[in-house]
Chains A and B, each alone.
Chain A
Amino acid sequence: MDIRPHWQPFWSRTLLALVAALFATLLVGCAAPGGPVSLAEVRQFADASARLGGYAELSKRYRDTYEREQPYLSPAADRIARENDARRKAVYEDFLSIQKSLVLYMQTLSVLAGETRYDLSPQLDDLGNGLKANAESGLQQRQVTAYTGLTRLLTRVIASNYQNRSVETMVRDGDADVQVLLEAMISLTRLYAKTNENEKKTILGIFDVEIPFSTKNSDRMLVTLAKVHYLSKSTEYKLLDKRYDLALQGLTKVALGHQRMRENLHNLQAPEVRKLLAAYGRDLVALRDAMSE
């Protein structure tokens, strides 16, 4: 059944003109594009930064210091230790919230720099299909092809420029605070490590002193148990020392990477910048894997 009204070709051409006008207005204010957009390295770096472990786990370990130390403390030391414990538990949430703010920022940056969302090709294919040349619509094939080609280019310009500028804004405006938070986390991790060191020396110290004192034959089993416990604790703390190191390395790398992005804001597409960011991203993933062993 042919229900086509006689004014159909005019209607199609008018619509086409309207769409062209729409894109023209969207173009206003957009700078001329560079090559194809790829913020993939920014995305990967932000993603790896968001997932870096270490700090959260070490914060929790710091909070629970008293539970581990308690059996080894004299009554006088225990009094002080209990005060410390209460205070640590009070500040713990603050320690965590720093990391949460940073993770949220990195996750958002990662999405903002993401690829799939801004690949508008499927929609443009639709546009082409919508403009199928046929005699009735008055459009010729070459006009449709030219039109969709131009639209594809323009849309990539619009979306990628908006995306580019959004990423730039976020990195530029966020860098100072990101560095402040990371520096705080690095300092805190160092304080955790030093407290851990005191914990280790408190626990091992008792055995250093008491084992030489237990020389009676009847002490033999006790001494053996003590030596075994000492060895196991020694090993445990050696492994933990590594985790503090890895955590510090990771945080430093995130800080450096974000700083590089800030320094290279107008250059994020340049191959050397992308390579650098990619390297940071890979290092962060490796650190995370090392910490989850």
Chain B
Amino acid sequence: MANDKPAAQPTPAQKTPPPTPAEALSTAKQVEELADKLSACADSIHERVMRDIHRSQEQHHGEVPEAEQSVARALLDAEVELRQRADRLYLDAAACIVSSLGKPQAHLLALTADAAKKIQTITRIGDGITLVARLLGLAAAAATGQVLPILAAVDLLKTQLDVVAVHEAPPA
């Protein structure tokens, strides 16, 4: 009775860990070789068909009898289907390779983020030096006791503080 049994819980599919890049490449290589063989098979079918056609044309003054045309077309269909199957295998190999690249990509992105931070730090060093320079400029201006140089120096300092703020601001 359907009501007696509890609803069967679907077992979660066992998640196999993705292959390492090396494993994936090795598997992909084997699949690729199989696909190469299928493609080569298709090539030899084509050669056979062309040979048959030429032989037929020689025997029949450039014509190919209906019966032989049907045979040739059937072989051509087989050849095309074989190529599609080979393509399917090439695709399998490609998908296998790609499935192994999660970790290397993540690692590379982390590295890139680190580097971006370092670029920021180096910018800050440059900003810091400029800031010190502006402070010294202000001190020197103050030393002259003249209003105009002091105002100019204060202005430069404010500009530099704005620059620092812009560089410090988190990316949009």
Contacts and interface: CB of A to CB of B under 8 A. Distances in A.
A19 B143 contact: no
Does more than half of chain A's interface fall in helix, strand or loop, or is it mixed?
helix
Given A80-B88, A84-B88, A173-B111, A97 B105 contact: yes
Contact of B111 (A117, A130, A174): A174
B53 interface: yes
Which size bracket describes the interface of B in this complex? 35 or more
Interface in B125-172: 125-126, 129-130, 132-140, 142-147
Interface string A172-216: 011011101101100110010011011001100110110011010
A159 B143 contact: no
Interface string B73-94: 1001101110111111011011
Contacts of B94: 91, 95, 187-188, 191
Contact of B132 (A4, A19, A77): A19
B25 A12 contact: no
A88 B143 CA distance: 73
B13 interface: no
A6 to B, nearest CB: 11
A279 interface: no
Nearest to B77: A74
A209 B53 contact: yes
A98 interface: yes
Interface of B: 21, 25, 28, 32, 35-36, 39, 42-43, 46, 49-50, 53, 57, 62-64, 69, 72-73, 76-77, 79-81, 83-88, 90-91, 93-95, 97-98, 100-101, 104-105, 107-109, 111-112, 114-116, 118-119, 121-123, 125-126, 129-130, 132-140, 142-147
Given A177-B104, A188-B94, 7 more contacts: A4-B143, A4-B145, A108-B112, A108-B116, A126-B137, A187-B93, A209-B49
